[in-house]
Amino acid sequence: MKIGLLECDHVAESFQHIGGDYRDMFQRLLPGVEFVFYDLCNHHFPNSVEDCDAYVVTGSKYSVYDDIDWIYRLKDLVRDIYHHQKYYIGVCFGHQMLAEALGGKVHKSESGWCVGAHQFQLLHQAPWMHPFKDQLNLLMSCQDQVQQMPENSKLLAQSSDCPVAMFQVGKKMMGIQGHPEFPKAYSRALMDARVERIGLEKVEVGIKSLDLELDDAVFSGWMMAFFTPA
């Protein structure tokens, strides 16, 4: 299976010594996958939706409602992926893009930033969730959230500060608000650099939460099972 990684941002050079760029993080999350990299935020898009069997959309410092050319192009691409019945997993910004492109709504959360490790409570057990856990600990780094899911969606998970933490559209598209690809050290670096934006109290709680054991490996297995159903 050939998976297109749709890159919607890049790790700042000052942080790349921690875990590389986002493509490096996803390669570690999904070892052995044949990736094709598309640097969308620098206008490198697939020639056709048929170029890959599945697509993963990364996080971003941008918002899905920003008035930026490549974001509009990505919305069109997500609709093409939907209509051509390709597999899709959106992470953070990619999760929000899935909602926004297909008729849902995204805006800044009244809860403010979600940072550090959060507990995702699973509401449904899908066949690709194997081995199943009713709770996942995943890193988060977001201010925007999905406020309304598109039609033909099913809510899969939520957290205390994120009502739409994971959802599925049809059988082949799914979004997760968490960051299973992030190393803890990168999450810590982002929080340290954004204290004024996030707020000291939230940063302190977020840093303390990094003591939790994460379920990145579990979610990695779920992603592969989602892409390759039995």
Has 52 been annotated as catalytic?
A: no
Which two tokens mark 211? 């003591």
The 3-class secondary structure across 123-164, one letter per residue, is: CCCCCCCCCCCCEEEEEEEECEEEEECCCCEEEEEEECCEEE
Has 179 been annotated as catalytic?
A: yes
Q: How far apart are CA 150 and CA 219, in angstroms?
A: 23
Query: What is the residue whose two structure tokens read 């996030």?
Result: 198
- Report the half-sphere exposure of 110 (CA within 13 A, side-chain side): 3
Has 8 been annotated as catalytic?
A: no
- Answer yes or no: are the C-beta atoms of 102 and 78 closer than 8 Å: yes
**Which of 8, 92, 114, 162 does the annotation list as catalytic?**
92
| Secondary structure tally for the chain: helices H, strands E | 8, 11
Q: How far apart are CA 153 and CA 173, in angstroms?
A: 9
Q: Could you list the active site residues?
A: 92, 179, 181
